[in-house]
Amino acid sequence: MTEEIEKDNTWVIVGVSIAAIVLLVVLLKKDETKHLESGAVAQLQTETFSKIEKRHTSNNSSAEQISGK
């Protein structure tokens, strides 16, 4: 008359869940930073800053324009 003891799988489920979450975070982080490797961000920043500088210099009036000559 031996009773069967049920195996408690709680810690196995917790461990597998933690491992799955860590793996998911690593994969998503890798995918998130993929666009930084292409250099597109640096190119876009360069283009943006050049346009800002061009607009800044074209908005400044020269001394002749201000005096009306």
CA separation for the pair 24, 32 (Å, rounded) = 12
pLDDT at residue number 63: 56
Decide if 29 contacts 23 (C-beta within 8 A). no
CA separation for the pair 43, 51 (Å, rounded) = 12
- 29-61: pLDDT as tens digits: 887 777 666 777 788 888 999 988 888 776 665
Count Cα atoms within 13 angstroms, Cβ side, for 44.
6
**Where residue 64 falls among pLDDT bands split at 50, 70, 90?**
low
What is the Cα 39 distance to its own chain's centre? 14
- 45 closest CA partner among 36, 33, 34: 36
> pTM of this prediction?
0.45
pLDDT at residue number 13: 95
